[in-house]
Amino acid sequence: MASLRCFLRSGKNAVTAVLRREFHGTPPAAVQVTVRDALNQAMDEELERDERVFLLGEEVAQYDGAYKVSRGLWKKYGDKRIIDTPITEMGFAGIAVGAAMAGLRPICEFMTFNFSMQAIDQVINSAAKTYYMSAGLQSVPIVFRGPNGASAGVAAQHSQCFAAWYGHCPGLKVVSPWSAEDARGLLKSAIRDDNPVVFLENELMYGVPFEMSEEVQSKDFLIPIGKAKIERQGNHITLVSHSRMVSLCLDAAAVLAKEGIECEVINMRTIRPLDAEAIETSIMKTNHLVTVEGGWPQFGIGAEILAWIMEGPAFNYLDAPAVRVTGVDIPMPYAKILEDNSIPQIKDIIFSVKKTLNV
């Protein structure tokens, strides 16, 4: 099957490629793909697969995307499928929701989720609640996507994390990919999902390359929404995180491993529905929990996870109170030294792990 796919992809050089593969028995052709390219490819493939899928947002077409995530798509698909909007979020988000109600499958891009606040009524009241209010008559198959959370030096109005705000609302699915594989598989699932999905990307992750196996590169590779992934196995403590903070957790885990502390790092992948079972299973093994998020502490992702654990079967397995590592409870400052100290650093995770383990 792999060789057949290879043949179809390679065109002219197919025969030699196939022969080469069979002869030398090379391992599956993994490639390095950035998160940006993974998102781009996922959208490209879904646009090709289903004519009802289209993309709208500011600068998505002729500018190739403010962060180049939609590069090349307008050239390929044209004005009908890739639409540049004026700077009018409330309006175009509403238009996107209406189009979804009438049978299309829009991808509505917010240049950053900070600007989604201008349109949040359409996301919550028009998209999220409608299937329920209509008792199943009217579905809204829409994806709202864009970068979320802190970037670098963009100050208070451009750095907020909206995971907790959107995660709060029934009727919405909320997804937060970390790796290129996550980005690809989750975006495809989001686009194919018949419900409103808020897809929280991260600007600082766009340029980060990840190895992508051949299986992940396949056009029908999907990651189910609502299932977390264990990125690193460990026995001593469970670290739960989403998006860019997963990178920090893995870095902290590497440092801690040198001291004999083995962390299990869970990449949430989905905020809502929360994969509490994965977290509980892990806690039953490690007996300790630290959550890590970039957003503010109050009423946040960590707060929710800790509440779930308190109420569920894993509580009795905890040997110490579960703890949250979060952004500092302030608007994001501009100056580098202040910004660096406003979000979790690796040392904060290490510190919290050691305090929890009492070492």
Partner 1 sequence: LKKKAALVSRLLSKTKCDLHKLEEGPPLQAMLSREEGLQYYRTMQTMRRMELKADQLYKQKIIRGFCHLYDGQEACAVGIEAGINLSDHLITAYRAHAYTLTRGGTVREIMAELTGRRGGIAKGKGGSMHMYTKNFYGGNGIVGAQVPLGAGVALACKYLGKNELCVCLYGDGAANQGQIFETYNMASLWKLPCIFICENNKYGMGTSVERAAASTDYYKRGDFIPGLRVDGMDILCVREATKFAAEHCRSGKGPILMELQTYRYHGHSMSDPGVSYRTREEIQEVRSKSDPISMLKDRMLSNNMASVEELKEIDVEVRKEIEDAAQFATTDPEPPLDDLCNHIFYNNPPMEVRGTNPWTKLKSVS
Q: Which stretch binds partner 1 (CB under 8 A): 4-12, 221-229, 273-281, 323-331?
A: 323-331
The size of the interface with partner 1 (CB under 8 A), counted in residues, is 49
We find the least distance from the C-beta atom of residue 12 to partner 1, in angstroms, to be 33
Site string for partner 1, 118-137 (x = CB under 8 A): x-------------------
Q: Which two tokens stand for residue 49?
A: 């697969």
What's the closest the beta carbon of residue 165 comes to partner 1, in angstroms?
A: 16
Say whether 51 is catalytic.
no
Using CB under 8 A as the binding rule, the residues of this chain from 243 to 302 that contact partner 1 are 297-298
Laid out side by side, the sheet with 229-232 consists of: 229-232, 263-267, 237-241, 289-292, 323-325
Query: Contact between 71 and partner 1 (CB under 8 A)?
Result: no
Q: Among residues 46, 58, 89, 181, which one is catalytic?
A: 89
| 105 lines the binding site for partner 1 (CB under 8 A) | no
Nearer to partner 1, 114 or 189 (CB): 114
Asked whether position 342 contacts partner 1 by CB under 8 A, the answer is yes
According to the binding rule CB under 8 A, does residue 84 interact with partner 1? yes
Nearer to partner 1, 5 or 158 (CB): 158
The letter for the amino acid at 207 is G
- Residue among 44, 59, 214, 251 that touches partner 1 (CB under 8 A): 59
| Segment interacting with partner 1, rule: CB under 8 A, options 130-138, 198-206, 217-225, 317-325 | 317-325
User: Using CB under 8 A, which of 91, 171, 209, 312 touches partner 1?
Assistant: 91
Stretch that binds partner 1, among 1-9, 185-193, 311-319, 343-351 (CB under 8 A): 343-351
- The answer to whether 233 contacts partner 1 (rule: CB under 8 A) is no
Report if residue 344 touches partner 1, rule: CB under 8 A.
Answer: yes
Residue 320 CA to residue 352 CA, distance in Å, equals: 12
CA–CA gap between residue 243 and residue 342 (Å, rounded): 17
Per CB under 8 A, contacts with partner 1 among 1-30 are: none
197-201 vs 229-232, strand pairing mode:
unpaired
Query: Least distance to partner 1 from the beta carbon of 90, Å?
Result: 6
**Binding to partner 1, residues 38-57 (CB under 8 A):** none
Phi, psi of 32 (to 5 degrees): -90, 125
The verdict on whether 242 is a catalytic residue reads: no
Rounded Cα distance between 140 and 97, Å, is 7
Residue selected from 28, 72, 273, 331 as contacting partner 1 according to rule CB under 8 A: 331
Q: Is 307 in the site for partner 1 (CB under 8 A)?
A: no
Tell whether residue 330 is a contact of partner 1 (CB under 8 A): yes
Q: Does 115 bind partner 1 (CB under 8 A)?
A: yes
CB of 2 or CB of 338, closer to partner 1: 338
Catalytically active residues are 89, 158
Binding-site ranges for partner 1 (CB under 8 A): 58-59, 62-63, 66, 84, 86-88, 90-91, 114-115, 117-118, 151-158, 297-298, 323-331, 333-338, 341-345, 348, 351-352, 355
